[in-house]
Structure 1
């Protein structure tokens, strides 16, 4: 993984779904009609890697033994849960619900970019004008209660998620989808408002649930936003066996799961039971792993990996630690400022705060030199403006940026037309002292000067803000950062809370600064509207926690979504990268191009794919060796 921060999908159901499918994009083929030819796999650029009729994904083991129990700890920062419905805004969802109980019409392949393959759908076709897409549902596809998955269920899922009863992220992401139309019992068509080659992918990744979920035995219906602990009638390979509220969650394999023989699921979901145990903090979780309470643990803290994964069980091979390489883009992680706060609306202030983070000291003293510095919103990817070094914009990038500068000069920093500036460094000949001097100059230009023991504006108001986190494990890093900020006369308070309260504050944008991590992707698209779009900044619970509201950013997201070639996508994404990076919305952190995983020797695993998250890889394609069954 990329840092010490664990992924954070709780309360953000669409993001979890997007991570499963954004590795592939969809292209336009012929519209489904009668008996005309259709394809399971399609690609936005060129041809998909896997030919029609392929047996299984190469990164899955078709001979993986089935059976046994996989026991895992908290997959993220949640330490409890209060609902089974992952699609509503309020509350914290039980771990594993989204991944194990809901399938989608189509899924992406983790060893290629820009392809997608049917799962619930046996074939997919896009209309010649690319203004609609149709999916034909497999006749064997069924829900956990044994009822068939029909086009009416797909429409119900879409309409429900687009309603005000669901998380508002769905309305942002699917804003360009006009409607879902039932063509026949097993054919569903989605009509679009605009021509957007990514929309077929996005609707293909829609999680599908039964229209009977929430229907009581007396025929009355529970409103979707009131569904909490009613067991989902889902389309996935597992069902709920039992749970202890806030403590543990146990799933069992659905013996009638319809997808076992579908090629995109061969070698997947190999355990009979999956158990999640929730621990109060990282230290307790690690000790529980050493004691044999669960089977695998993904580590995000460099110090723990270097110092704590030791002992007799590691020495004798009972427990194994291994760093698995990946080719994921690093995404963006850092201390994000809430632009809704007046104190952060001056770009000079935001830039100054970046000079106070001494990454080189942190890497040396706390991280055991395991990290590289993030230098882009798409670090470690060909989508980064820094991909070939600190180069100036290409002609293709200038073609996008110059008209936008002419129309919105205040939203296009002049720096975007130069080389991407590196993040501040304290490597010689630079130093923390020099960086803080630069920060003080920028703050003075913005009207903040040091007097009477603090940094103050012309009204005498002290520059102060609060950093909020959902746990104490980041305190050493925060303390070092705050010490440097205090040298500038800035007053900072650090406030930690439990996950549920922290998530509510994020949903309400009730914070000054916090740690964010935007997931990596090889093919960005519609999710950017939710992450950086102006409309999302005003929508409670969106991914735009920063509060970016820029017509230039909106226009560049449009260009990304409408790109018809990989080259156009690169130019648009690199242009967006330049604008975001030079706007200094985030104090960038660090990344590691490996996944650090510790596991019991009985665990088996295939060769990892190119692009993957550690938790989902373990959950979906690992298995238990025969010896322990």
Structure 2
């Protein structure tokens, strides 16, 4: 599964979901006035690249420009405003915007000057200032100013998605102190990630938006300052971005060797199956494969056999977060932890991995999987010290037993799990009557699993069959992505498959995932509706962690509490990018550690003719 809700939003808006309780460390030393003036910030030590670095270490700075890449989008879109709850935004809209700083996908959490040529951070960390590039221009030729930054910040907090109010909640003031200098002042210096996460902000043109209602979807191509502009669109069917030839930032160190396509075209398809057929027919150039069955069996087609299509698996070091069946705790049906554990007990990952996924996945057993932030064993040392004040509010077993997910032999004969689940359900007041599970009032145990595409029906339907053996009636409902987004924003679902992504430096975004306030706020990322006083306090401790050791201990404690409350039914994860592409591309010799790096690829002109000839031959067969 893709990292659907949160990462889609992040990608659309140009954010990297870092977040941490650590201090944003600037490169360089304080001046006599105690202010550090720098080109970069990091959360895990000093940034690795000096001020005069010429380009990212992994790119080809002389990569040729030109050509077109055609990519897949699923569903539809009806808006070019990706910053609000209303409407479904077009894929790739981030291409038209610049951010104050640019994340390095080769470092765990470092950002370098982009729109901002300089950063100022005082010793007490009560504010941060960004000085904008003199050359920074909107596509209409007008300069990008501090007023644009202030207007963007205030507008997104007031009218944007709820995410912004949580992410920037500790900023008290944003003021333009000069035409090219903007200062953000903070409520305190405890939330030490603020300087860096403000650098992730996409900047919007105040003059273009004046007279327009920002809170409404729109299809007028917005004005940007980034490397691409919208060339043409067919709402719901396709959108085309063209590289800006005179883009102001083309020679910046963070941009050299990137954005090499003249044209990026996204073609929309109703589901992944149709999109795959379009790829095989040569209508799509590049594909990331998220379906294990297709990766194992679906690539024996004419273009592949003729060598026109290539495949690769690229190892990454990204934390994989938590993909899961998410229970909506706003529903009375799921408010008992014993009921939730019963539903976990009968989820047979081993059978699915063997029969559906060709053994290609690893079971996810932590909200911070594939990182040193994941809890394991029994709580000890600093983690135990974090948990001790909450002992009376937590399950006693949390301190004496290791949290474990059920493991089966993969045969599909999961009788032990069914027995354990029935015991838990009886303890919670549910009994079997005429082969149907019902509560003391005679109400049946039934719910709906909401999906946004057919790919996960083959996962949900076997699970439904197992639940039927318990006397539970579960129905699978698949709707299009636009409808799905509307229902997710309104928390109108019983159960769904979702992803809670994480980084190596969790912080402010945890409020959006797990806080009581966000459980009540439509459009938030608290999909499960988690509202627990211990979780709430641990989230704040994570955000305010004074150093890396404290961050690790507090995050492990948060992870352990979330797991023991059985809020979700954990799924699985992969530690590689699986990609397939028509063989017309050149690519750097290595990938950055924490990203695919597709924006650093280019078209090899000498191969285009061969590929196009092969495509025509395939299409005529």
**TM-score, normalising length: structure 2:** 0.93
Q: 2-side partners of 1:119 and 1:628: how far apart?
A: 33
2:396 pairs with one of 411, 414, 417: 414
Secondary structure of 1:278's counterpart equals strand
Residue in 2 that maps onto 1:610? 593
In structure 1, distance between residues paired with 2:173 and 2:144:
19
**Counterpart selection for 2:137 from 138, 142, 149:** 142
**CA offset digits 1:297-326 (Å, max 9, x no partner):** 011000011111112321221001111111
Does residue 181 of structure 2 align to residue 187 of structure 1?
Answer: yes
Provide the C-alpha distance between the structure 2 equivalents of 1:139 and 1:240, rounded to a whole number of angstroms: 25
Distance 1:108 1:420 in 2: 37
1:80 matched residue in structure 2: 76
Q: Cα offset for 1:33?
A: 10
Q: State the partner residue of 1:231.
A: 221
Distance in structure 2 (CA, Å) of the matches to 1:10 and 1:498: 19
Match of 2:493 among 484, 493, 511: 511
Q: Greater CA deviation, 582-591 or 547-556?
A: 547-556
Q: Residues of 2 paired with 1:9 and 1:624: CA distance?
A: 31
Report the counterpart of residue 537 of structure 1 in structure 2. Answer: 519
Matched, 1:397 2:391: no
Q: Distance in 2 between matches of 1:551 and 1:589?
A: 26
Aligned match of 1:624 in 574, 592, 603? Answer: 603
2:43 — aligned with what? Answer: 44
CA distance in 1, matches of 2:478, 2:414: 27
Unaligned runs of at least 5 residues, structure 2 = 609-621
Cα drift, residue 570 of structure 1? 0.9
TM-score, length of structure 1 as denominator length: 0.92
- 1:69-108 equivalence runs, <5 A: 69-74=68-73, 78-98=74-94, 100-108=95-103
1:53: which partner in 2? 52
Q: Is the 8 A contact 1:143 1:209 kept in 2?
A: no
Measured in 1, the distance between the counterparts of 2:163 and 2:481 equals 20
1:32, 1:125 within 8 Å by CA — same for their partners in 2?
A: no
Distance in 2 (alpha carbons) for counterparts of 1:358 and 1:482: 11
Query: Which residue number corresponds to residue 251 of structure 1?
Result: 241
Q: Hey, what's the Cα distance between the residues in 2 that align with 1:605 and 1:21?
A: 27
Q: Does 1:312 align with 2:302?
A: yes
How many angstroms does 1:553 deviate by?
1.4
The residue that corresponds to 1:218 in the other structure is none
| Equivalent position of 1:17 in the other structure | 14
Matched, 1:521 2:503: yes
Cα deviation, residue 35, structure 1? 12
The farther-off stretch of 110-119 and 83-92 is: 110-119
SS of the aligned residue for 2:14 comes to: helix
SS at match of 1:12: helix
1:67–1:34 CA distance, 2 compared to 1 (3 A): farther
Change (3 A) 1:243 1:31: farther
**Cα deviations across residues 132-175 of structure 1 (Å, max 9, x unaligned)?**
11111111111121111111100000000011x22122112111
Instruction: Give the one of 280, 293, 310 matched to 1:290.
Output: 280
What is the rounded CA distance, in whole Å, between the counterparts of 1:56 and 1:574 in structure 2?
36
Cα RMSD (Å) = 2.2
CA distance in 2, matches of 1:211, 1:364: 54
Q: List runs of 5+ in structure 1 lacking aligned partners.
A: 216-220
1:379 to 369, 374, 383: 369
CA contact (8 A) 1:132 1:191 kept: yes
**SS of alignment partner, residue 18 of structure 1:** coil
Q: Is the 8 A contact 2:36 2:121 kept in 1?
A: no
1:476 has 2:476 as partner: no
Could you tell me whether the CA contact under 8 Å between 1:94 and 1:249 is conserved in 2?
Answer: yes
The alpha-carbon deviation at position 628 of structure 1 amounts to 4.4
What residue number does 2:25 align with?
A: 27
